[in-house]
Amino acid sequence: DGGITQSPKYLFRKEGQNVTLSCEQNLNHDAMYWYRQDPGQGLRLIYYSQIVNDFQKGDIAEGYSVSREKKESFPLTVTSAQKNPTAFYLCASSPGLAAYEQYFGPGTRLTVT
Amino acid sequence: QQPVQSPQAVILREGEDAVINCSSSKALYSVHWYRQKHGEAPVFLMILLKGGEQKGHDKISASFNEKKQQSSLYLTASQLSYSGTYFCGTEISGGDMRFGAGTRLTVKP
């Protein structure tokens, strides 16, 4: 089955620790995205990538970092510099960058205390 | 800047119609519509492109006014399965997507 996997589903961390969220897709899509969703709010774009070894900052990139070493993988690191890291994180992919439907993974709910 | 969606919430009876609006202050390359059910990932509904092209599902329709940077999603003869939160996503340039805060739709029997 083709799709996007995110792991783990729930993640708990202590304040001050960096944490990496996994995102893998086997859809052979070129573009991948990371979004953050807070309760009662829409999705906000953190980073996106069109090709391997290239990525762009989205609306709220501060306190986050990404890498794109392989086409199928786009991990997100939430650093200790992110002031309010507790949120629901969604990864998505699309065949290309512009005007393509995005396929979303099941999400990771991160809680930092 | 995030697009503005209205209404914030709507309650319908099965078979009734609804319209959800999305407005942006920036020139748009495309408008996307997604539906998210509680605790799940958003699911694609439709894309509207500059120039009038549309890609999406047959049972859902939408419009895109390029001059006003506004889009509307039309849900007709609503079913229980239509319940969820609807998001519009506005694409300013390739990949740079901004989503609205969502419209919570509840369909009752």
Mean pLDDT of B78-102: 91
Angstrom distances, CA of residue B8 to CA of A26, B75, B97:
35, 15, 20
Query: Counting Cβ atoms within 10 Å, is residue A17 exposed (0-12), middle (13-18) or buried (19+)?
Result: exposed
Cβ atoms A34, A88 nearer than 8 A: no
Per-10-residue mean pLDDT, chain A, length 113:
88 92 96 93 93 94 97 96 93 90 94 93
Residues of B in contact with A105 (CB under 8 A): 41
C-alpha A49 chain-centroid distance: 11
Residues of B in contact with A107 (CB under 8 A): 41
What are B30's two structure tokens? 């495309």
SS3 content of chain A, % helix, strand, coil (to 5): 0, 50, 50
What are B42's two structure tokens? 């958003």
Cβ atoms A113, A19 nearer than 8 A: no
Which among A51, A29, A23, A32 has a CA at the least distance from the CA of A95?
A: A29
Residue A9: DSSP 8-state: S
What are B25's two structure tokens? 């202050």
Residues of B in contact with A50 (CB under 8 A): 94-95
In whole angstroms, give the CA distance from residue B103 to residue A97. 26
Output the pLDDT for position B94. 78
The minimum CA-CA distance between A6 and chain B, rounded to whole Å, is 11
Output the pLDDT for position A30. 95
**Among A33, A90, A98, whose Cβ lies nearest the Cβ of B41?**
A90
Q: CA angle A94-A85-A56, nearest 5°?
A: 35
Cβ atoms B84, B37 nearer than 8 A: yes
Quick: pLDDT tens for B12-66: 999 999 999 999 998 888 999 999 998 889 999 999 987 777 777 667 889 998 8
